[in-house]
Amino acid sequence: MKKFEYKIVNAAMKGVAKMNLDFDATESILIGLGLEGWELVSSYVYSKSSGINEHLYVFKREYIPVD
């Protein structure tokens, strides 16, 4: 039976108040994780109590134990 490990990553934000999504930095993060074998399985945007939107990405990859 396959086993998986999971990772949750915040998107990169820019600007004085960190309110704007940094597309280039976020794309670099996503590409890097893909090259490491991580697969994007879901993404979420939610508003914090401060009114700032948070972008989260959920990844998974097969868990292979190191002997």
Instruction: State residue 43's pLDDT score.
Output: 95
**Residue reference for tokens 């009114």:** 51
Task: Name the pTM for this structure.
Answer: 0.81
d(CA 23, CA 60) in angstroms, rounded, equals 22
Q: Reduced to 3 states, what is the DSSP secondary structure of residue 52?
A: coil
| 8 Å CB contact between 20 and 14 | yes
pLDDT tens per residue, range 2-34: 999 999 999 888 877 677 888 899 899 999 999
Reported confidence tier of residue 66, pLDDT bands at 50, 70, 90:
confident
- Taking the domains of the chain in order of start, what are their residue ranges? 4-62
> Between residues 53 and 37, which one has the greater pLDDT?
37
Reported confidence tier of residue 46, pLDDT bands at 50, 70, 90:
confident
